[in-house]
Amino acid sequence: MYFSSKLPQTGTTIFTVMSALAAEHKAINLSQGFPDFESSAELTALVYDAMKKGYNQYAPMAGVMQLREVISEKIASLYGTNYHPESEITITAGATQAIFTIISAFVKTDDEVIVFKPAYDCYEPAIRLNGGKVVPVQLRAPGYQVDWNEVRNLISEKTKMVIINTPNNPSGTVFSGDDMTQLASILEDTNILLLSDEVYEHLVFDGEQHQSVARFPGLAERAFIVSSFGKTFHNTGWKVGYCVAPTGLMQLFRQVHQFNVFCVNHPVQVALAAYLKNPDHYLELNVFYQEKRDYFVENIENSRFKILPCRGTYFQLLDYSRITDEKDTDFAIRLTKEHKIAAIPVSVFNEAQLDQKLLRFCFAKKDETLKKATEILRKV
């Protein structure tokens, strides 16, 4: 028997590959983006309490109302835009499910979707599965700045959607207010949708401010904004996130969502609703992670790696061109096997596997883990 795949060129994700290699060789795993420290004991206790109180059956399809209400309050407080908890907010099984659902709900055969590269690797398979065409905009290290004239020239009658990710994984760059204004100008007077992946919204450093799409009415009216509690509260395995959008768009999103996952972990939603009532739980994260970034960077300043700017996320890019001219995929494997530290080669996020001699390291780790990791990197 023979069966053909709708994604014939797609193999196992690089995160799975590198994490498995790290486990096999007992290497420090700075590849996959998850913390090695525990989530809040208070939040864990709230989940347990919700379980004991019987919140163990299906949650409402769109999510627990108390959680949607507190999300609405959070967005209004931070970005000055009101999303109605009943009709404009949906709880999802992580941000990736939200992204897949958005693309599936709107992208049809031959629709074009503009994607900024390097890009998180879930966007393009979802586009292709739905018959769409990826239109890449390759950004270049070290600045990864967008040439908005290039973007303007790529807009066509087939453009269905633009996907942005700020703060950006893997580059650590952050869109400015001017970036958002230029994007709004390009999309004005079109029917093009915007998908804004903002899962690292609370991880913006050096006094900068997260420029959410919610701040810009001309963008918000056509946009889905996606966020992740797993990234925010150090519990990626819980797989709970959310998306917000104007009522008409959200209605179409839920048409797919209800048959995709229907609903999301009930006791975790109840717990998050209570935990989010204290804004300090997310407003202090930028300081927490900036300290980790600074610790990591300061401890490899005397290494042969060149440190690229990291303005957001919990990922640091390192240029290894002074060490070897190996392909980044080969060097990442050798680094794991010989030096016992795992990272992600950035070419896997780029157009045509563009190799810029960069590796991505996750610094969402305990200080003792970062200390061991930086000791290794100084010796490479």
Give 234-256 pLDDT, tens digit per residue: 999 999 999 999 999 999 999 99
Q: What was the pLDDT predicted at 167?
A: 98
What local confidence, expressed as pLDDT, does residue 13 receive?
Answer: 82
Q: Does the structure show a pLDDT above 90 at 45?
A: yes
CA distances from residue 374 to 79, 141, 205, 240 in whole angstroms, order as listed:
37, 23, 21, 32
Q: Is 254 exposed, middle or buried (0-12, 13-18, 19+ CB in 10 A)?
A: middle
Q: What pLDDT sits at residue 122?
A: 94
Q: What's the mean pLDDT in 280-298?
A: 97
Dump the DSSP string for 209-255: ----GGG-HHHHTTEEEEEEHHHHTT-GGG--EEEE--HHHHHHHHH
In this prediction the pTM is 0.96
pLDDT-based confidence at residue 208 (cuts at 50, 70, 90):
very high
The domain defined by 54-278 carries CATH number 3.40.50.620? no
Mean pLDDT, range 326-343, rounded to an integer: 97
pLDDT higher than threshold 90 for residue 277? yes
Please report the pLDDT score of residue 14 as a whole number. 85
What phi and psi values does residue 112 have, to the nearest 5 degrees? -105, 140
Sketch the domain layout of the chain as residue ranges.
14-32+284-379, 54-278
CB crowding 191-217: b at 16 or more within 10 Å, else e: ebbbbbbbbbbbbbbeeeebbbbbbbe
258 falls in which pLDDT band (50, 70, 90)?
A: very high
3-state per-residue secondary structure call for 106-137: HCCCCCEEEEEECCCCCHHHHHHHCCCEEEEE
> Is residue 206 over pLDDT 90?
yes
- Asked if 124 and 115 touch (Cβ cutoff 8 Å), the reply is yes
Predicted confidence at residue 4, as pLDDT, reads 79
Provide the CATH topology of domain 14-32+284-379.
Aspartate Aminotransferase, domain 1 (3.90.1150)
What is the rounded distance in angstroms from the CA atom of residue 313 to the CA atom of residue 308? 13
Give backbone dihedrals phi and psi of 366, rounded to 5 degrees, phi first. Answer: -65, 150
